[in-house]
Chain A
């Protein structure tokens, strides 16, 4: 069965650079979530989209932006990268508008290292 696809798997950047992370949800899933997981930390919610519109916002820095495209894939754009942005970034998708009783399906994550 198709899963959530994230690219790239690994990304190395320097401080003040920009990065773009991509997420391709499971087919027919209309809701995408982004999570950030620091070393030894639990996943922290960043932002979510439903039907190409932002549906919820968490602890996403102003330096980050995201959008969901017409094919439902999503991109997380990160600018002015800081050392503290080094983390595993997960994308998750959900069907049916992300209603509360639906589980999330997670991708394998993008490991971002900022040097």
Chain B
């Protein structure tokens, strides 16, 4: 079965500090992994994806994520957080054998000035 887990409901960081939003996954085939950000009353915006290749993926707005196959993780990171990064972040996985996305439960990121 395909599933995604985001163990933290909320992450609080101070502006300028590094941030990490955690994600672990479970798929039966090769994982295709994605991060989306959602601002209030808005659709989900694509940040980055891992398909194959380099385990460190760079995406929009300075975000990056590291694919770790042995730990089945795909944590989202940013070296220096901005207040404007405050939003809801969803990790998603797609099994190479199947069509639909599976989303994690979301992590609310709060960046304080």
The yes or no answer to B67 lying at the interface (CB within 8 A) is: no
Complex contacts, A101 vs chain B, CB 8 Å: 32, 49, 51, 94, 96
The yes or no answer to A25 lying at the interface (CB within 8 A) is: no
Picked from A42, A100, A103, the residue with its CB within 8 Å of the CB of B90 is A42
Query: Among residues 72 to 115 in chain A, which have CB atoms less than 8 Å away from a CB atom of chain B?
Result: 88, 90, 92, 98, 100-101, 103-109, 111
Picked from B43, B95, B101, B102, the residue with its CB within 8 Å of the CB of A4 is B43
Q: Are the CB atoms of A48 and B99 closer together than 8 Å?
A: yes
Known interface pairs A4-B43, A43-B44, A109-B43. Does A104 touch B101 (Cβ–Cβ under 8 Å)? yes
Complex contacts, B46 vs chain A, CB 8 Å: 103-105
With an 8 Å Cβ cutoff, the count of chain A residues facing the other chain is 24
Complex contacts, A92 vs chain B, CB 8 Å: 44
Q: Are the CB atoms of A48 and B100 closer together than 8 Å?
A: yes
Question: How long is the Cα–Cα vector from A45 to B36 in the complex, in angstroms?
Answer: 15
Picked from B34, B36, B42, B99, the residue with its CB within 8 Å of the CB of A108 is B42
Picked from B32, B36, B41, B100, the residue with its CB within 8 Å of the CB of A56 is B100
Query: Among residues 4 to 41 in chain A, which have CB atoms less than 8 Å away from a CB atom of chain B?
Result: 4, 33, 41
With an 8 Å Cβ cutoff, the count of chain B residues facing the other chain is 25
Q: Are the CB atoms of B49 and A103 closer together than 8 Å?
A: yes
Residue-wise, chain B 69-100 has the 8 Å CB interface mask toward A (1 for contact) of: 00000000000000000000010001111111
Question: How long is the Cα–Cα vector from A92 to B92 in the complex, in angstroms?
Answer: 14
Q: Are the CB atoms of B95 and A100 closer together than 8 Å?
A: yes
Picked from A42, A45, A103, A111, the residue with its CB within 8 Å of the CB of B105 is A42
Complex contacts, A48 vs chain B, CB 8 Å: 99-100
Q: Are the CB atoms of A45 and B100 closer together than 8 Å?
A: yes
Q: A45-B100, A100-B96 are in contact. List 19 more A-B contacts (CB 8 A).
A: A4-B43, A33-B100, A33-B101, A42-B90, A43-B103, A56-B98, A58-B100, A88-B41, A90-B43, A98-B99, A100-B98, A101-B94, A103-B34, A104-B44, A104-B46, A105-B46, A106-B36, A106-B45, A109-B42
Pairs across A and B, CB under 8 Å, 11 listed: A42-B90, A48-B100, A56-B98, A56-B99, A98-B99, A100-B94, A101-B51, A103-B49, A104-B44, A109-B42, A109-B43
